Structure 1
Amino acid sequence: MADRGKELIEKLRVKPGKPFDLKDRDPRDKCGFDDDEATKTETEMVAHEIDALQDRLYAEGQRALLVILQGTDTSGKDGTIRGVFNATGPLGVSVTAFRQPSENELAHDYLWRVHAVCPKRGTIGIFNRSHYEDVLIAKVRGFAPKETIEQRYAQINDFERMLTENGTVILKFMLHISKKEQAERLQERLDDPKKHWKFNAGDLDDRKLWDEYQDAYETMLNRCSTAWAPWHVIPADRKWVRNAAIASIVKATLEEMNPTYPKVSWDPKDFKVV
């Protein structure tokens, strides 16, 4: 599985500048991962390899990796973080969950709170939801005028270009689940007392707008998959496939970045521990 990263990047990437139809992507695609238990074991191994690569990134201290997880309710953003990054040392990883903007955040431009939590050099930053909420829920729910939403696509592209030109590599993952799978996961939250805390009645309101959200996602993918920050549509009906695909792509990206431990100006032989 470790060698599949580049193949999956090519398979799952939304090609910049080419028309994209979300209906062409199967949320139940196994992406070549046939055995769930074997894949889970291999994903754990890849997670440890990501940890080793992150250690090099942290030591190098020159670049950052930003991982953006975007998807409908129950698509598995939290599960992805646990499954892919749980083995990574907390010193070099930050996770930001974007909720409803605060009064202070609303007093600034919509990218203000996002820029403030972008990963610093040497670290991996993970966004659980992101600035793309401002062209998704804001569009579907009418929280901003159409003209404002239209401006934001180019603004987001420019913002992400600025980040990449200043040393941040961006990986964007849209967790693609089917309406049927979402129904099963929402029902599970109702049936299992240990998952009641996850249930939000507002999720049912959003579910009624399923088609509108799918259209908004498709527009987002078409407008904001760029050469410097392309989108990847991850089949997410099977949690183990979702985690395996994302882990493989993250690992391949870090390997491509090839962070190196800094060379010291002194000779270890000149010192002796007594």
Structure 2
Amino acid sequence: MTVDCVWSLGATLGEGPLWVPDDAALWFVDIKQHHIHRFDPASGSRGRWQAPDQVGWVQPTADGRWLAGLKSGLHWFDPAASTFTPWLDPEPDKPDNRLNDSVVDPQGRLWFGTMDDHEEAPSGRVYSLADGPHAVPTDSTCRITNGPAVSPDGRFLYPVDTLDRKIWRHEIGADGALARGELLIEIEDGAGHPDGATCDSAGNIWIGLFGGWGARCYAPDGTLLHHIDFPVSNVTKIALGGPDLKTAYATTAAKGLSEDELARQPLAGGLFAFTVEIPGVPANPVRIGI
């Protein structure tokens, strides 16, 4: 698989890539620069919005709006007006935490994680947006939450514990409750840290490797299927998009690299793309809890 840089934007912490079929474009963020980006591969057009704070993700809703996960909580994001309206802070008692990554399951339920912005305290949790404007946390905590990914049938949730290099599997009940998790994948020492996760239409799990110079694809049972080498060290997350959902887009980060490392990685923080054999799953809009 040949990896190409399609946008050398030098993101400090590129994250949250999401292919939006109705828009035929990839949306993603640069958390540390407070930017939301839009990339249209057909026309080559590129858009950027300035968020009022660190922004971890954006998600479309079933009623045509957008939600954005900022350090201060969930905001309504209006791309046309470039405005952000605060709506819900899931952790008003944790001012050092920020929202980090998200996914929407087939039922339209939003799952998102929080983490200590200093990457030290085990204060991160995974939340689901339940019926009504309140967030319901799961039981797990860690220093950096990532993903979660959700299986295409909506049966399993895969939260990522980045610093402990572990990917967990929880069964999702009909009411949205999570069963006790089991360890599915543990990244070996020296291979980097698992970052954002996403699932393809066969249920395989794609993981970006921060500090690992690549991305991996694992089968639903945790068997390693593919390792894709990158010309940059910090690969943060994969999104499967394009007209046939067979273009893998990857966000990357320049965060933490020294001047010498940046000189050796001139494309660090760029947006990359490569072609896969198994397509992704169309993104689900948020339906529950809004």
TM over 0.5: no
Pick the structure with more helix per residue: 1
Q: Is the radius of gyration larger for structure 1 or structure 2?
A: 1
TM-score (norm 2): 0.26
Which structure has more strand as a fraction of its residues? 2
